[in-house]
Structure 1
């Protein structure tokens, strides 16, 4: 797939063979401090079961560039006998506190076995920082106090890797998903009756108390990210973009799933995003909202996800995480208004996370990539809204010219 002008990249985490492997990027930008917090999982191999500890690099943004500190291991974000996974930070503006949510999963237990036998081995945890990521407090386990008995009906669960958000009203949002057991039968493992469904955790009092929202009505949704959309003067809604998985007998590549929440904890509108194709096995993607350049009363959306090579058959696409691309939506609540893709990383690409620097009208993207495999390194890129508009409009003109020639 052809690419336009590519924003320059800087490698933050590089896997070494033999040695540590870094996966699952997560990015947070603190406007008040002009500081980036870039998180990842440090593993002994690319396998999920070999995750060990979360790592962090802090970056100071100044004059259009970023100066990065060395990598540090988050030694307080651990539980004995568990591995730390899926970093998902959210910033509470009033108290200036970073909540870093993550999962602690019992050592040696993989997700498939938890789902198959209906025996959850994950814990919901967080640590906090009150000095923009320089130091971190001790781990807090919310599993019993927040999830409670619901966890008995889950094969397993996880916070979604990426970032959470704070809404204009102050509510903190942390995306998550659970493998919900629909039935139990003494002769058949519960995994045969289990489907993943997206939901979110939220706090309306600055992180003192947390609640579990209702899952999406659509089954087969997993990792997600969320954004707040300003749709008219003073009116805002919560938007969700979720990973989707097709059924085993489906011959059609699934689409991402979009949802809108009009009240805390619930999604009222759920539909497939036909312009955003998903692979059969799925891949995490990132989304964020930002003010329309012409009016700060309305929001646009930006989304990143691998788009494949453009030559893949549906039965191969599940293995082809290739070409990280950017999509733009100038009418977020209307279906079929995604524009793009603009490919910003050619070759193997995987998970990604976006941040927006509103004072500089600049986007930042932290993403997995490599020369042969998408888990070779985690790169960081900066690009502007002008870059997005120019390249996506060029892409649109190219498609229109191609269609005209075919006619």
Structure 2
């Protein structure tokens, strides 16, 4: 499971959702391939069920975010891949099934991929549309794990709407966990990010930073 945070949904059951992945033997003549999915509990963790796998695309470590769009709540999944770009999919039934598993070419991956983090948040009050926005953290260099960037998507279900990254940390870095913290002191959405970094290797130390959308 994980790494990174899970979710408590805003549905009637206040379901708990834990992103995960598993290796599947789809062809006995081939190596097992990883596929992302979610564990879901609708009774506050007493029992759990396993959701279906995210499409046909091979996907490893993933994170999910509950997105409010067009009057409905959608579970968005963003997953690691070793094929040069992230994989994203959406669920309309709280993580049991995912649709539209596809590569997002803007969200580049290093050669072996790397865990990334995603969080949904309400847009600033002056935004024309009040549907959720998404923020995503991940190393930005396609050649290796370095230069942690922050990407923004104001239309989360459209993979073409991811912005170019703003660099949060220059240098070697790896896994991260991103979280929305409410409204910041400047009135802009406030976020925190915990991530691995180092001078000689990507995971020598951990660093925690806070920043606003502005």
Find the partner of 1:350 among 174, 178, 183: 174
CA contact (8 A) 2:57 2:102 kept: no
> For 1:115-130, what aligned pairs fall within 5 Å after superposition?
none
> For 1:179-194, what aligned pairs fall within 5 Å after superposition?
179-184=23-28, 192-194=30-32
Q: Which residue of 1 aligns with 2:138?
A: 305
Instruction: Report the CA distance between 1:359 and its aligned residue.
Output: 4.2
1:363 equivalenced with 2:191 (yes/no): yes
Q: Which has the higher helix share?
A: 1
Alignment length (residue pairs): 205
Q: Name the Cα RMSD after superposition.
A: 1.6
> For 1:190-269, what aligned pairs fall within 5 Å after superposition?
192-233=30-71, 235-246=72-83, 254-264=84-94, 265-269=96-100
Unaligned runs of 5+ in 1: 1-158, 186-191, 247-253, 387-407
* TM-score of the two chains, using structure 1 as the length reference: 0.49
* TM-score of the two chains, using structure 2 as the length reference: 0.91
CA contact (8 A) 1:195 1:219 kept: no
Where do 4+ consecutive residues of structure 1 move more than 2 Å? 294-297
Larger CA Rg, structure 1 vs 2 = 1
Instruction: Report the CA distance between 1:297 and its aligned residue.
Output: 4.3
Q: Deviations over 1:254-273 (max 9, x none)?
A: 21001000114100222111
Q: Deviations over 1:193-220 (max 9, x none)?
A: 3110000000112211110000112232
SS of the residue corresponding to residue 122 of structure 2 reads: strand
Find the partner of 1:322 among 126, 129, 146: 146
Q: Which residue of 2 aligns with 1:332?
A: 156
Unaligned runs of 5+ in 2: none
Structure possessing the higher relative contact order (Cα contacts under 8 Å, 6 or more residues apart) = 1
Q: Distance in 1 between matches of 2:59 and 2:3?
A: 14
Q: Distance in 2 between matches of 1:263 and 1:323?
A: 35
Q: Distance in 2 between matches of 1:268 and 1:323?
A: 31
Q: Distance in 1 between matches of 2:46 and 2:133?
A: 31
Q: Distance in 1 between matches of 2:130 and 2:50?
A: 30
CA contact (8 A) 1:198 1:222 kept: yes
Q: Distance in 2 between matches of 1:338 and 1:347?
A: 23
